[in-house]
Amino acid sequence: MTAPAIRGRFAPSPTGAMHLGNARTALLAWLDARSAGGAFVLRIEDLDRPRVLPGAEGALCSDLSWLGIDWDEGPDRGGPFAPYKQSERAGQYDAAIDRLLADGSAFLCACSRLDVARAASAPHDFGAGEVDDHGPRYAGTCRGRPPAEVTARAASQGRSPAVRFDGRAAKLDFLDEIHGQVVAGPQGIDDFVLRRSDGAAAYQLAVVVDDAAMGVTRVVRGYDLIGSTPRQIALYGALGLAPPTFAHVALVLSPSGERLAKRTRPASIASLRERGVTAEAVLSALATSAGLAPGPRRSARDLLPAFSLAEIARGAVTLELP
């Protein structure tokens, strides 16, 4: 049997300027795909419409091109799996949710965020009160209730019901290409949201549907998303899809060691360009932070011959340019 073609991707959100942390992840994802002779896909994750900034998508593409990171398919050039913007893929998300509802892998939920928080803080015997990396853990209030009853309850509060995945507290270990075997947490997979009450697909559902539809075989992304991986693997299984391999690269911290936020975020690529910093200097800093072997770094392609995902730095890094 012929091995599947290697397909990687970078999927930024156009909610702000690209900074060094974003660029580092993009570079490593690109190197991983290109070093294996694979294709590279650019997808714009713009589901959170209120946060999308005018011109941000074009600026992201410009910054990537300036760094020498190219792509074979994307919103600017199309491809066999278009559209490459999540805001234009609602039909695919709805079809997946309908399938999950039909086979009992998902259920309607009338609970608001406040309801979930209140239930999580109340004394129970079935796991509520626990908080995981995604916030208060859903207590299962609407699980197993008739859809008509849930819909009526949501309507009485002036909204449509959300849709949740029935996680069943499944415990899924997985192999990370950088960190090795990742053991499931003690709480297992929660009943996470697939579609919000406003009708918008949630990130966990959209990213699985898109990566599967676009034939992505390797996902290289930031370590902050490693906790989402069991959820996504469970979704792949429920939809009868084969998951890609995952690799979670180290986060970039501020010089003081803080996790990046607006006040601690490193300089944007655009601001570095405006100050006259060269693409070569940025690439050198990104490569050094990842622990890539020294050598000529005149372009992104100069990094390809010696690249090995297994050898990049695992720990969080600080990254600054003058």
Q: Please list the active-site residues.
A: 262
Which residue matches tokens 């949740």? 164
Strand partners, 163: 108, 195
List C-alpha distances in Å: 295 to 34, 260, 279, 299, 309: 18, 29, 16, 11, 17
- For tokens 């579609």, the residue is 195
Contacts for 312-316 with beta carbons within 8 Å, 24 or more apart? Answer: 312/28, 312/178, 312/249, 312/250, 313/250, 313/289, 314/178, 314/179, 314/250, 315/250, 316/223, 316/250, 316/251, 316/252, 316/253
Q: Where are the alpha helices (DSSP H) in the chain?
A: 20-35, 56-66, 90-102, 113-121, 147-156, 203-213, 229-238, 269-274, 279-289
Question: Interhelix angle for 229-238 vs 203-213, to 10°?
Answer: 60
Q: How far is Cα 67 from Cα 28, in angstroms, rounded to an integer?
A: 12
Within 13 Å, how many C-alpha atoms sit on residue 252's CB side?
23
| Other residues' Cβ atoms within 10 Å of the Cβ of residue 12 | 22
The residues, ordered by sequence, that sit 6+ positions from 241 with a Cβ below 8 Å of its Cβ are 208, 212
Give all strands (DSSP E) within 71-224, no chain letters: 106-109, 131-132, 135-136, 162-165, 174-176, 180-182, 193-195, 218-222
Q: Take residue 140 and report the two structure tokens written for it.
A: 């299962």
